[in-house]
Amino acid sequence: MINYRKILELNDEGISLRGISASTGNSRQKVTEVIRLAEKKGLVCPLEDEMTDKWIEEFLYPEKTLEASGRHPLNFDYIHEELAKPNVTLSLLHHEYEADCRANNKIPYSYRSFLRHYSKYAEKYKATLRIRRKPGEIMEVDWAGSTASFSIEILEKR
């Protein structure tokens, strides 16, 4: 198995690709691939204790664990980007995924499995901040979803 943690830590220390390759026993191409993928996905040192080699592998290559099932792999980056667009839901994305699978004669994941795999992927990207304050102290407005003008236009047409 590839020692992802050691590769990333040695790279952070400024060791050359050849040095990392020699100390981990992996090819320079593989070392370069791991480093570039980690940089692209925002995985930076120092690594936390919970980030084991298995965790890092699942983070960098989420499709590897899904390929063994024989089903058409999910494109998590695409799903994540599409969900940021207005009025796009996981249900809609699953429908598109299912239609694509059927068109290419591949086996799709069920909706429930689709949600489970995506939520596992999204959990690693989850960025939350707990704001501690007294109830009623501050009012916040949720600007997500359709705007209020949309519903007003409908009422005006009646």
pLDDT (tens digit, 9 = 90+) per residue, 81-112? Answer: 898 888 889 999 999 999 998 888 888 888 99
74 contacts 117 by C-beta, under 8 angstroms = yes
Please identify which residue in the block is written with the tokens 């965790």: 55
How far is Cα 124 from Cα 54, in angstroms, rounded to an integer?
A: 13
pLDDT at 77: 84
Q: Which residues of the chain have pLDDT under 50?
A: none
0.85 surpassed by pTM: no
How far is the first Cα of the chain from the last one, in angstroms, to the nearest whole number? Answer: 66
In whole angstroms, what is the distance from residue 109 CA to residue 67 CA? 12
Q: 3-class DSSP state for residue 80? A: helix
Distance CA 80, CA 130 (A): 23
What 3 state SS string does 43-83 have? CCCCCCCCCCHHHHHHHHCHHHHHHCCCCCCCCHHHHHHHH
Q: Look at residue 111 in the predicted model and tell me its pLDDT.
A: 92
The three-point CA angle 79-84-88 to 5° equals 70
